[in-house]
Every structure is written in structure tokens, then in C-alpha cells.
Structure 1
Amino acid sequence: MSGFHVRTATKRDISAIDLLLARSYPALLKADYPPSVLVTALPLISYANPGLVTCGSYYVVTDEAGQIVGAGGWTRSAPGGGGIQSGVGHIRHVVTDHRATRQGVGRKLMTHVIDRALDAGVVRLECLSTRTAEPFYRAMGFNSRGAVDLTLRPGIQFPAIDMWRVQ
């Protein structure tokens, strides 16, 4: 893990995060979702949200060459513009380069995210995980409330796992 560095994302990172999402989500999610779900969902989830990337609590992981190999963060507001609850944070749009899985990128990123959320007074983190990432989040101390269907657009559902972690 020593070869990876975590830093706060900036506007300059948006295009690199777009490429990371577009390259890695199809490869990572393929085993856990049918093509009928991926063909409609991937165009809607495989891009960086500029407001999220620049919110100050979204981070990138870079390798020794300075390439972005992971991204993700947390916000006080829930995905989709949900309300804010005191002491609650939400894990947001996490991705690891599919060529760098099992190398400590995700753990380094999530440890940083959890620590920064704790520093900000968050005592409970909530996460809408992909089926693929559920074992990873469990290993990071998250518990599952069960399966949910996220509405990405009218008529387009994406199966996810509703998870939470108490600091």
C-alpha cells in the first residue's frame, strides 16, 4: 500500500475519474449484473459528478506514476439529494481501477474516507453498494440492511445493497 497516495480531488481530476469509471465499472460489475441491467445503468453511473468531485470530501488514489487508480468520498447529503441528518455521512461513487484490485487501493481510500468523516463528526456512515463491492464493504466494517433497487431514471432500476457502519 505504500506506493499509493490519497489526496482530495479537484476539478482537474474530473476527466481522469470519468475515464476510470468508464473503464472499470463495466469490467468490475460484469460478473454480478446481467447485461440487460448494465446496458441501461452504465451510461448513467460511469461518469464523474463535478459537484461531488469538487465538494472537498471526495478523494483520488494515485499510484507511483501519478495515475488515478481509485476514487470515492463521502457527503452529509444522501445520494439523489436526500436530506441531511446530524452525525450521518454517505459514501459516494467509489471505484477502483479494475487492473488494480486486491492491491490495497480500496482499503487505503476507504480508510482515508472513514477517518475524514470521523474527523468531521460523522458517527454513522451509510452506503449504497454494488453487489460486487458488498464483500469489500463488509471487510471495512459495514453491515447490510438488504437489497434495494435504485431508480436511476424512470424505468431504469439498479440493484444495490443498503449498508451502514457505526464509527
Structure 2
Amino acid sequence: MTDHPTIRATTGADAAAIDALLAVSYPRLLAGDYSADQLARALPLMTRAKPELLASGTYFLIEGADGQAIAAGGWSLAAPGTGETETGLAHVRHVACHPDHLRCGHARRILDNIIRTSRDAWVTDLDCLSTLTAVPFYAAQGFAVIARVDVPIGGRVPFPSVQMRRAI
């Protein structure tokens, strides 16, 4: 791996790499905050890349020198689940970091890229539906808790989450 792995916008061709990253990241990192039953119901729906995000130009991937997906995440103007939009507001989407690469600054680089590129698109605020596990990470990046919510994963599996927001 290089000292400073590359970051780039994804394409549809990255689906398998993102699926693999989500499949290794979410089960390991979320296990301390969710029950086995909650994860068994939600993970099959959460660990699949979203084709519309991959092709959006606003979803990013950090790769090591060996091509392994290390971290990913992005943003959209449309709210996850509803597709609703609000002037000046964007939504952080599907952020993940490989468990073997935690605390190396990769998720922070992804979030910095999300902030920079969304600001360039005239976004003034970022909304995030954080897992319980990621709340401290987002709080350290300036996000404030708005409310605890149950996010309907796949439109049907309630998943305890925290809505957070920050001005950019």
C-alpha cells in the first residue's frame, strides 16, 4: 500500500469492489452496537453498492496500491429512501472503511472530499443518517445530533440510526 492511497470518483465498474468493502466493513464494525438479529436482517440490504451512487460522480473510493478498496462514501442531493430534495442540503451516503485500515485517516479523507465537492455544488449543509457506531466519528467532524431515528433499510427493515447535520 502507498503512504497516500488514491481517491477517485467511482463508476459502475466499481460495484464488486464496493460490495466487498461493505461486506467486510459493516458486519465487523457494527457488531458492538447492534444485535445479531438486527444485523442479520439489515446487512443483506446494506452491503450492496447503490448503482445510482456509483455513477453519480459524487461517490468516492480510496484504493491501495494493490487496488483493494480501503474506504468509500459520497453524497447526493436526494435524500436516501425518499428522493426528496431541499435547497442547500445534501446527504452523506454509504460511507465505509475497511476494518484493517481504521484510524489511518481514510474515512476522514472521504468526508473531506464529500464536503469539498458538495460545497462546490453550492450545498450549505450536510445531513447524515449515521449508524450508532459512527456517531463519534461524525461528531468529531463537526456534525451535531438532530434525532435518533429508525431508518427503513430497503424500505422495510427498521435500523436504529442517528440523524446528524453540519454546516459546510
TM-score (norm 2): 0.95
Alignment of 1:29-68 (within 5 A): 29-68=30-69
Identity of aligned residues (%): 40
Query: Contact 1:124 / 1:166 at 8 angstroms: preserved in 2?
Result: yes
What code does the residue aligned with 1:131 have?
L
TM-superposed deviation, 1:66: 2.7
Q: Count matched residues.
A: 167
Alignment of 1:1-20 (within 5 A): 2-20=3-21
* 2:88 aligned residue: 87
Q: Give the distance between the partners of 2:64 and 2:137, measured in 1 at CA.
A: 20
Match status 1:120 vs 2:130: no
SS of the counterpart of 1:99? helix
Q: Give the distance between the partners of 1:154 and 1:78, measured in 2 at CA.
A: 13
TM-superposed deviation, 1:161: 0.4
SS of the counterpart of 2:99? coil
More off after superposition, 64-73 vs 26-35: 64-73
C-alpha change, 1:86 and 1:20, in structure 2 (3 Å) is same
C-alpha RMSD of the superposition: 1.4
* 1:161 aligned residue: 162
Q: Give the distance between the partners of 1:145 and 1:99, measured in 2 at CA.
A: 31
TM-superposed deviation, 1:95: 0.5
Cα deviation digits, residues 103-128 of structure 1 (max 9, x gap): 11101110011110011100000000
Q: Give the distance between the partners of 1:23 and 1:44, measured in 2 at CA.
A: 14
Q: Which runs of 4+ in 1 moved over 4 A?
A: none
SS of the counterpart of 1:15? helix
Q: Give the distance between the partners of 1:17 and 1:149, measured in 2 at CA.
A: 24
Give the gaps of 5 or more residues in structure 1. Answer: none
TM-superposed deviation, 1:2: 4.7
More off after superposition, 37-46 vs 60-69: 60-69
C-alpha change, 1:143 and 1:67, in structure 2 (3 Å) is same
SS of the counterpart of 1:141? coil
TM-score (norm 1): 0.95
* 1:139 aligned residue: 140
SS of the counterpart of 2:150? strand
SS of the counterpart of 1:114? helix
* 1:148 aligned residue: 149
* 1:27 aligned residue: 28
Cα deviation digits, residues 21-73 of structure 1 (max 9, x gap): 11111001001111110010101101101111111100101123332111110
